[in-house]
Amino acid sequence: MKLNFADRRTDKNIVNKKFIISDSNDEKFKGKISLIEIEKLNENFEVIRPNGTTDLVIAKDYKIMTYFPKKEKYCMTVMFDNEWNLKQWYFDIGRSYCKYDGEIPYSEDLYLDLVVLPDGTFYALDENELKEALLNNIVSREEYDIAFSTMYKIKQMIKDDFKILYNFTMKSVELLKNRIGD
Q: pLDDT tens digit string along 92-147?
A: 999 999 999 999 999 999 999 999 999 999 999 999 999 999 999 999 999 999 99
The pLDDT of residue 2 is: 86
pLDDT at 37 over 80: yes
**Domain extent for 91:** 3-180
Count of the separate structural domains present in the chain: 1
* pLDDT category of residue 182 using cuts at 50, 70 and 90: low
**Three-state helix/strand/coil letters over the chain:** CCEEECCCCCCCCEEEEEEEEEEEECCCCEEEEEEEEEEEECCCEEEECCCCCEEEEECCCCEEEEEEECCCCEEEEEEECCCCCEEEEEEEEECCCCEEECCEEEEEEEEEEEEECCCCCEEEECHHHHHHHHHCCCCCHHHHHHHHHHHHHHHHHHHHHHHHHHHHHHHHHHHHHHHHCC
Q: The CATH number of the domain where 41 resides is what?
A: 2.40.380
User: 61-102 pLDDT, tens per residue?
Assistant: 999 999 999 999 999 999 999 999 999 999 999 999 999 999
| pLDDT band with cut points at 50, 70 and 90 for residue 158 | very high
pTM here is 0.92
